[in-house]
């Protein structure tokens, strides 16, 4: 290939890449909406929330929002989210509703022990004790469901003092990837996220954030729901995300689930590509007396895609 042909080919490749990037940015812009649209969709937090900041035993700080009185529901989000993910449930659930932002997410900060799943489970136990939670339904979404499983298995006495039922939403009992791939992904993610942390940026570039958020939904999400997920992802600490990725990818309690005695209800969307229905079935098949509910057409963000249905399942 002569120099002229090589130059033309290089220019063509660069032009194609530039056009693809421009199309991505243009398409991603369709999903960006403003504060008014979020409010109109009921995806902003209620104004009458009570805010708690629980100091953990390792010096961390866990932000919890609370609303209402009566039967208690505790909501724990997945990775890259925050208490804001539960806006529909904070508006609609009757009784006392508490939404926890896990360390490294939202306004919550890690302490000396950093971000491990064991520490997240300890945080949850300390929050339940500090806020005097009794006879609650504990709802864990995605990573929040993994932390809830760990709390139930490692701290059964703590769980029984505060919780009467588990609702695991779009979660998994086992690793998302095999060990070789998990190690590779965790290492690559750690390097990229450490760079973002040093530069004071969010975990991902803006356009990539939109597309990563879109993948979390089913067929027809509202732009407001995608925007809310983008905002939470943008505010996530890259350092905390890097630390949690290894634990997320390696998590495996499958062989221990038969020992659970608390009632468990597992919920998953049929179009969830992040924690697909087979992961939910893996929980239901191993926990004695558990129940499984499939939501047709729903993706990973059940609380935003099927808010009313989830409220019904929580309160039934």
Nearest alpha carbon to residue 279 among 165, 185, 181, 175: 175
* Exposure string for 188-203, b = 16+ CB within 10 A, e = fewer: ebbeebeebbeeeebb
- Please, is 61 exposed, middle or buried when counting C-beta atoms within 10 Å of its C-beta (0-12, 13-18, 19+)? middle
- DSSP type of residue 190: H
**Residues in a beta bridge with 136:** 163
Contact 168, 268 (CB under 8 A): no
Please tell me the distance from the alpha carbon of residue 267 to that of residue 144, in angstroms, as a whole number: 13
Please tell me the distance from the alpha carbon of residue 108 to that of residue 123, in angstroms, as a whole number: 11
Half-sphere exposure of 292 (CA within 13 A, CB side): 21
Please tell me the distance from the alpha carbon of residue 166 to that of residue 159, in angstroms, as a whole number: 10
**Residues in a beta bridge with 294:** 268
The helix (H) or strand (E) run that includes residue 15 is helix 3-29
Confidence (pTM): 0.85
CATH code of domain 35-315: 3.40.50.1820
Please tell me the distance from the alpha carbon of residue 270 to that of residue 174, in angstroms, as a whole number: 18
Please tell me the distance from the alpha carbon of residue 139 to that of residue 169, in angstroms, as a whole number: 7
Per-residue pLDDT of the chain (316 residues; tens, 9 = 90+): 443 433 333 333 333 333 333 334 444 455 567 888 999 989 999 999 999 999 999 999 999 999 999 999 999 999 999 999 999 999 999 999 999 999 999 999 999 999 999 999 999 999 999 999 999 999 999 999 999 999 999 999 999 999 999 999 999 999 875 554 445 445 555 555 555 555 555 556 666 677 777 889 998 888 999 999 989 988 888 888 888 988 898 899 999 999 998 999 999 999 999 999 999 999 999 999 999 999 999 999 999 999 999 999 999 8
Contacts (Cβ under 8 Å, ≥6 apart) of 88: 42, 43, 303, 304, 307, 308, 310, 311
> 53 is written with which tokens?
């900041």
* Domain-wise residue ranges, the chain: 1-30, 35-315
């Amino acid at each position: 290939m002569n120099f002229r042909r090589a130059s033309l080919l290089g220019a063509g490749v660069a032009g194609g890449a530039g056009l693809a990037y421009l199309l991505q940015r243009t398409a991603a812009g369709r999903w960006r909406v403003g504060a008014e649209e979020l409010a109109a969709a009921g995806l902003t937090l209620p104004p009458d929330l009570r805010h708690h900041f629980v100091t953990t035993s390792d010096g961390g700080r866990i932000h919890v929002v609370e609303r209402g009185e009566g039967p208690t529901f505790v909501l724990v989000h997945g990775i890259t989210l925050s208490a804001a993910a539960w806006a529909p449930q904070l508006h609609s659930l009757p009784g006392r509703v508490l939404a926890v932002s896990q360390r490294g997410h939202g306004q919550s900060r890690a302490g000396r022990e950093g971000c491990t799943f064991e520490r997240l489970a300890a945080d949850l136990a300390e929050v339940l004790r500090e806020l005097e939670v009794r006879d609650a339904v504990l709802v864990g979404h995605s990573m929040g469901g993994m932390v809830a499983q760990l709390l139930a298995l490692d701290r059964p006495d703590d769980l029984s003092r505060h919780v009467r039922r588990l609702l695991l939403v779009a979660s998994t009992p086992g690793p998302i990837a095999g060990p070789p791939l998990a190690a590779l992904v965790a290492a690559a993610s750690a390097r990229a996220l450490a760079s973002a942390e040093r530069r004071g940026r969010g975990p991902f570039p803006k356009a990539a954030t939109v597309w990563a958020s879109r993948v979390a939904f089913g067929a027809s999400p509202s732009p407001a729901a995608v925007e809310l997920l983008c905002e939470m992802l943008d505010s996530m600490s890259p350092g905390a995300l890097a630390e949690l990725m290894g634990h997320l990818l390696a998590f495996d309690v499958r062989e221990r689930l038969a020992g659970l005695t608390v009632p468990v209800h597992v919920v998953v969307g049929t179009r969830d590509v992040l924690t697909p229905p087979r992961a939910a079935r893996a929980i239901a098949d191993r926990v004695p007396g558990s129940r499984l509910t499939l939501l047709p057409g729903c993706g990973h963000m059940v609380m935003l895609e099927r808010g009313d249905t989830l409220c019904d399942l929580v309160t039934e």
